[in-house]
Amino acid sequence: MNIKNMLVGVGIVLLTNWGVDYFILSRYRTKELQEYRSGQVFSAPETEQTFRPLKLGVAFSQAKRVSPVVVTELNTDWGALTFTSEGAALERLEFIRKNDQTEDVITTIFPTIEREHKAFIVALDQNTPYYYNLVDTSEDDQYFFLTYEGSYEKGLLRKRFAVAKHIYKIDLTIELLASSHAIQNQIRLFLPAPVMPDIKYDTVSALVNNIKGSIEKIPYNKLNGQEGWWAPTIFGTENKYFVHALVADQNNFAQRAYFLMAPENRLISILEGPSVVPQETYSWTMSFYCGPKEAHAMNQVNTQLEETLDYSGILAPLSKLLLKLLNFLYEYVHNYGLAILLLTVLIKLIMLPFTISGERGLKKSNEVQKKMRYLEQKYKNDPEKLRIAQAEVIKKHGLPQLASCLPMLAQFPIFIALSRVLNNSVDLYQAPFFGWITDLSAPDPYYILPALLIGGMILQGLSGDPAQRMVTLTAALVFGAVSANFAAGLVLYICASTLLSVMQIMIQKSVKAV
């Protein structure tokens, strides 16, 4: 057999093996390994079939409360936490933000009468305990410790919280102390999304690691209530400014995870643990980040959480730099509105040489265009002479259009990066500026800044090419109307930048700088 026939034979064998494996054997091969990859999405049936249905409800024990409710308040460097013995749950979570004049309080977890909506409720298949006893409280330099115990079917459920004093981190250890008479159970843990009722257009999204390991964000209105994820390592929820999420699962508690979609865009994360048998003792420890969407705070707990920041992406380094500059300026003026104005001036000064160069290039480009139009009229009946004359003009003056556009285009990344910062920075939440602007993260309530922006854009258009004035006027009205829904901090930046551009043009014309 020659080499050619041998290679053909080997190829046929390999192709046949692949076809049999792909089209026949793959139908019977178990998919267990693929299905249990961390972050793998699955669709659960409504009844017991290949997979178990999602367990969204909680069957609480009918036992009555035999001891008074114990409420425990913990005050950390970053906030105030209120725990209750009803459900051994976190009842209220308040973040404290201090400035020179006042101390602002931002609440993301509120008391609720819906038991399964409380933070860190632990559910069993049957007779979930709701009334717990607080059996121990202690603290050290780094943590507060709370230990609760609740009874179920002759078994004992113990929950031990470790609340970090200096970083946004809560550890929870769940212990199931079963007896010989206890029934088989499967444990679930509930954690609600951050709720901020005073944000008019707040959006809640799910957070979960995908099979590649990166964090995926799914808005509430895009979630499928019958979908879940296998063994996630990061799982939770976010709103515009805060995150509540599992960030570490030391004992592999989370076998599956999914969401309970409640009315009014409320979202509750559910971590489903393993099915456990009687006569054995179990213990799992998990860590949670409950804090603001700030890179520094997140990196102290889990660096991967930085992927949740809305300025993540190719412009993330520029956004971070601008945010650092903004906070640096705030340290001196103690007003984020003034800091935005100073940052706008700083950006304008940095971009000034490029802007002047671009305007000169634009002026030169207009002159070249006039010469081209003159040549077209002069040699309209002689294409060959027109081509030669145009080539001479280009050789002498070049093509300045691109050079004139580059400085203008360089400002777009800055604008996009800064708009991400001003639209999503928790530092601007409820931060006042002056007079009617009491919250730079919210739209201007009286539309004064959008009106100033329209006026500035019209002035900018009047100082430019007369042929473009109608286009500029239309653009000003449209953009001004759209900016009415922007955060006041962002509109303040755009308005200040536009007015500074008008002043720059007026000064340049007076001194004939361009």
- pLDDT tens sequence across 116-158: 899 999 999 888 999 999 999 999 999 999 999 998 877 889 9
Q: Annotate 313-382 with DSSP letters as a single string.
A: STTHHHHHHHHHHHHHHHHHHS-HHHHHHHHHHHHHHHHHHHHHHHHHHHHHHHHHHHHHHHHHHHTTT-
Q: In the structure, what pLDDT confidence band is assigned to residue 82 with cuts at 50, 70 and 90?
A: very high
Which residue's entry shows tokens 């906070």? 327
Q: For residues 60 and 130, what is the distance between their CA atoms, to the nearest angstrom?
A: 7
Task: Please name the fold of domain 71-309.
Answer: Beta-galactosidase; Chain A, domain 5 (2.70.98)
Contact 420, 315 (CB under 8 A): yes
pLDDT at 15 over 70: no
The three-state secondary structure class of 190 is strand
Work out the mean pLDDT of the chain and round it to a whole number.
82
Check residue 78 and give its pLDDT: 93
pLDDT, tens digit (0-9, with 9 covering 90-100), for 390-436: 677 666 666 555 555 655 666 788 888 888 888 888 888 888 888 88
Burial class (CB in 10 A: 0-12, 13-18, 19+), 16: exposed
Edge-to-edge strand ranges of the sheet holding 89-98: 71-75, 79-84, 89-98, 103-109
pLDDT at 200 over 70: yes
Check residue 485 and give its pLDDT: 85
Helix (H) or strand (E) holding 71: strand 71-75
Q: For residues 423 and 428, what is the distance between their CA atoms, to the nearest angstrom?
A: 8
For residue 99, give both structure tokens. 């400035």
Distance of CA 133 to the CA centre of its chain: 37
Q: For residues 195 and 204, what is the distance between their CA atoms, to the nearest angstrom?
A: 9
pLDDT at 23 over 60: no
Query: Max CA-CA distance within the chain?
Result: 105
Task: Give me the mean pLDDT over the 346-367 stretch.
Answer: 73
Check residue 16 and give its pLDDT: 58
pLDDT at 503 over 50: yes
Question: CA-based angle 201:204:206, to the nearest 5?
Answer: 160
Highest mean pLDDT, choosing among 4-18, 246-260, 355-369: 246-260
Check residue 46 and give its pLDDT: 60
Q: In the structure, what pLDDT confidence band is assigned to residue 305 with cuts at 50, 70 and 90?
A: very high
Check residue 366 and give its pLDDT: 67
pLDDT, tens digit (0-9, with 9 covering 90-100), for 261-291: 988 889 999 999 988 876 678 899 999 999 9
Domain residue spans of the chain: 71-309, 317-511
Burial class (CB in 10 A: 0-12, 13-18, 19+), 283: middle
DSSP E strands, 99-251: 103-109, 121-123, 133-139, 143-152, 155-164, 169-177, 185-192, 205-209, 215-219, 227-230, 235-238, 242-249
pLDDT at 75 over 50: yes
Phi, psi of 433 (to 5 degrees): -115, -75
Q: Annotate 229-242 with DSSP letters as a single string.
A: EES-SSEEEE-SSE
The three-state secondary structure class of 60 is strand
Please choose, from the candidates 190, 191, 179, 158, the residue with its C-alpha nearest in 3D space to the C-alpha of residue 276.
Answer: 179
Contact 307, 316 (CB under 8 A): no
For residue 47, give both structure tokens. 């009844």
Please choose, from the candidates 191, 375, 187, 344, the residue with its C-alpha nearest in 3D space to the C-alpha of residue 270.
Answer: 191
pLDDT at 465 over 80: no
Contact 309, 293 (CB under 8 A): yes
Q: 284 or 18, which is more confident?
A: 284
Please choose, from the candidates 382, 335, 190, the residue with its C-alpha nearest in 3D space to the C-alpha of residue 271.
Answer: 190
